[in-house]
Amino acid sequence: MEKYESVLKRLEKTAKQYTNIAPENGQFLSILIQSIKAQNVLEVGTSNGYSTIWLAAALKETGGKLITLEFDPKRAEEAQAHLREVGCDNIVEVRVGDALDEIPKCDATFDLVFLDAEKDEYRRYLELALPNIRSGGLIVADDTVTMRDEMPDYVEFVFNTPMLHSVDIPLDDGVILSYKVGA
């Protein structure tokens, strides 16, 4: 755990520049992953890999794997280097490309999906990922308080689709946690 902590602490110094999640949101994701013993997780929006390290550290505990999507090759490279530094590069696949193209190419069944890229694309990311999220799977969307006006279609969708049970959680910039109910 020490190696994660020192790298996370270092990256927190540039959190604004890389628009990283807050540490408490990282802890929240980590608790969810470990609670549901997630085996397959998808992250949309890697940046320099800060949140990716939180996800990967939790997946080390569950024996799971992560696919993370980033369209900026420079950021993806930085994330890859940070993942190597914490010894998680073997369980994380950093895919460089537009999430709208990459999500449909994912053939894993996801236990949890974390959305943190373009806010006005959240609904499209979710609609593309939804067939590959298992019943009982979770979706976490970030920035849902501070950037809510950029995602009205997402908010409408997650609170009005019978397949999803959703709740607003005012954690740092806000998250919406959604649960995909059984078929």
Ligand X SMILES: C[S@@+](CC[C@H](N)C(=O)[O-])C[C@H]1O[C@@H](n2cnc3c(N)ncnc32)[C@H](O)[C@@H]1O
Report if residue 118 touches ligand X, rule: CB under 6 A: yes
| Binding positions for ligand X, 77-106, rule CB under 6 A | 98-100
d(CA 78, CA 65): 19
Report if residue 27 touches ligand X, rule: CB under 6 A: no
DSSP secondary structure, 17-77, as one string: TTTPPPHHHHHHHHHHHHHTT-SEEEEE--TTSHHHHHHHHHHHHHT-EEEEEES-HHHHH
Report if residue 45 touches ligand X, rule: CB under 6 A: yes
Residue among 23, 19, 17 at smallest CA distance from 4:
23
CB atoms under 10 Å from CB of 73, counted, come to 10
Rounded to a whole number of angstroms, the minimum distance from the CB of residue 35 to ligand X is: 20
Report if residue 120 touches ligand X, rule: CB under 6 A: no
Q: With beta carbons less than 8 A apart as the criterion, state whether 127 and 134 touch.
A: no
Nearer to ligand X, 163 or 174 (CB): 174
Report if residue 21 touches ligand X, rule: CB under 6 A: yes
Nearer to ligand X, 68 or 166 (CB): 68
Question: Which range in 1-9, 64-72, 105-113, 132-140 contacts ligand X by CB under 6 A?
Answer: 64-72
Q: With beta carbons less than 8 A apart as the criterion, state whether 77 and 37 touch.
A: no
Nearer to ligand X, 42 or 99 (CB): 99
Nearer to ligand X, 45 or 137 (CB): 45
Report if residue 75 touches ligand X, rule: CB under 6 A: yes
First-residue to last-residue Cα distance in the chain: 38
Report if residue 122 touches ligand X, rule: CB under 6 A: no
Burial 90-115 (b: 16+ CB within 10 A, else e): ebbebbbeebbebbeebeeebbbbbb
Rounded to a whole number of angstroms, the minimum distance from the CB of residue 90 to ligand X is: 20
Q: With beta carbons less than 8 A apart as the criterion, state whether 116 and 99 touch.
A: no
Q: Return the residue of 40, 51, 166, 178 that touches ligand X, per CB under 6 A.
A: 51
In the complex, the residues that contact ligand X under the rule CB under 6 A are 19-21, 45, 47, 50-51, 69-72, 75, 98-100, 116-118, 121
